Chain A
Amino acid sequence: MSAIRLSVPATARAGEVIELKALIQHEMESGFRRGSRGEIIPRDIITDFECRYNGETVFRASLFPGVAANPFLTFHTVATESGVLEFRWTDQDGETWSETADITVT
Chain B
Amino acid sequence: MTTVATPRIDRRALLKTGAGALFISSIPIPASAAPEDMQAAVKETFGDGPIQEGRVALSIPPISENGFSVPIEIEVDSPMTEADHVRRIAVFSPRNPVSTLINFELGPRAGRAHVSTRIRLAGTQAVLVVAEMSDGSLWSGAAETVVTLAACVVL
Q: Which residues of A contact B (CB under 8 A)?
A: 17-18, 30, 32-34, 53, 56, 58-69, 71-78, 80
Binds A, one of B12-20, B54-62, B94-102, B137-145: B94-102
A63 to B115, CA, bound (A): 14
Q: Is the CB of B115 within 8 A of A74?
A: yes
Q: Which of B40-99 contact A (CB under 8 A)?
A: 68-70, 73, 91, 93, 96-98
Q: Could you name 12 residue pairs across A and B whose Cβ atoms are closer than 8 Å?
A: A32-B31, A32-B155, A66-B91, A66-B93, A66-B121, A67-B120, A73-B116, A73-B117, A75-B115, A76-B110, A76-B114, A78-B110
Which residues on the B side are within 8 Å of A78 (C-beta)?
A: 109-111
4 closest A-B pairs by CB: A66-B101, A17-B111, A78-B111, A68-B118
Count A-B contacts at CB 8 Å. Answer: 100
Beyond contacts A33-B155, A67-B118, A74-B73: 5 other A-B pairs, Cβ-Cβ < 8 A, are A59-B104, A62-B105, A69-B68, A71-B118, A77-B111
Which residues on the A side are within 8 Å of B34 (C-beta)?
A: none
A58 to B107, CA, bound (A): 7
Chain B interface size, under 10 / 10 to 19 / 20 to 34 / 35 or more: 20 to 34
A27 to B99, CA, bound (A): 20
Interface string of B115-127 (1 = CB under 8 A from A): 1111111000000
